[in-house]
Amino acid sequence: MLGYEPGDSLAHHLDPRTKLAVQLAFAVAAFAHTDPRGLAVLTGVTALALASARLSPVSVLWGYRFLLPLLAAAVLFELVTLGPPWLDPAAAVDPLLASYRTLLIVGVAAGYVRTTAARESRAAVQWAIPGKPGRLLGAGVGLVFRFLPLLRRDLAAIRDAERARLGDERPTRERLRTVGAAGLRRAFARADRLAMALTARCFSWNATLPRIRLRAVDAPALALAAALLASVFV
């Protein structure tokens, strides 16, 4: 599973806003140049992004493996025709290029996921969306990161208990109902306890976040983002 890991790679030292800018510019450029030449250049950029995060392409593919059947289905649907000549390779070219583009965009995004801590992302959100809406979103995102492992454990415990009582032989609707109800009940119980604790400890709109600032190391990455954006108009 792909997630944040502390480290000392080049991408770890970049400002989160720089990394977000590169991802957005890359996605725009990839949509504008979904042709063999454009994708070849962008493959180089993706390799650069992965190298800067010290990520191997294989681990990225493994992390997003569930995407592959979906992409393959799109290519196959166009490749196979109902009637002679049965196979139509020309029609499959566009979906094939689009599928490859997906993998490139996902690869660049994986670099961000691996090298950016939740609180840096939160600081970037609050920089991008000023005022209370941004603070609300920032605090919420922080809580999602923090509570995801706990709720996953809750659900795993519920499923274990279900299995021990042969609940996994029940119909799917019943299982979804019991797991959903128990999961929601636990989540709400956690939420009410946490909300009371936060209020008791003066939960305020002005939380202290890590200071994010652009440094010299960000300059080449920002130049890359600008070049990607400029390529759209070429």
Partner 1 sequence: MSTATDSVDLVGDEVAVNLVRAALVAALMGAFAFVSFPNPLNPAVPVTAQVLGVFLAGIYLGPAWGGFAMLLYVLAGALGAPVFSGASAGLGEIFGPTGGYLVSYPFAAALIGAVVHGVDGLVDPEGVSFPRLVGAMTAGTVVIYALGIAVYWYYLDTSLVAAIVGAGLAFVPAEAVKMAAAVGIVRSDEVQAT
Q: How far is the CB of 140 from partner 1 (least distance, A)?
A: 4
Question: In which element (H, E) is residue 147 found?
Answer: helix 131-164
Q: Which is nearer to partner 1, 198 or 227 (CB)?
A: 198
Q: How many CB atoms lie within 10 A of CB 122?
A: 24
Q: How many CB atoms lie within 10 A of CB 98?
A: 16
Q: How far is the CB of 10 from partner 1 (least distance, A)?
A: 18
Helix axis angle for 67-79 and 89-115, nearest 10°, is: 170
Q: How far is the CB of 152 from partner 1 (least distance, A)?
A: 4
Q: How far is the CB of 115 from partner 1 (least distance, A)?
A: 9
Phi-psi region of 112 (alpha: psi -120 to 50; beta: other; left: phi over 0): alpha
Task: Give yes or no for a cis peptide into 85 (omega within 30° of 0).
Answer: yes
For the four alpha carbons of 36, 42, 46 and 48, in that order, the dihedral sign comes to: positive
Q: How far apart are CA 84 and CA 186, in angstroms?
A: 57
Q: How far is the CB of 134 from partner 1 (least distance, A)?
A: 11
Q: Which is nearer to partner 1, 38 or 147 (CB)?
A: 147
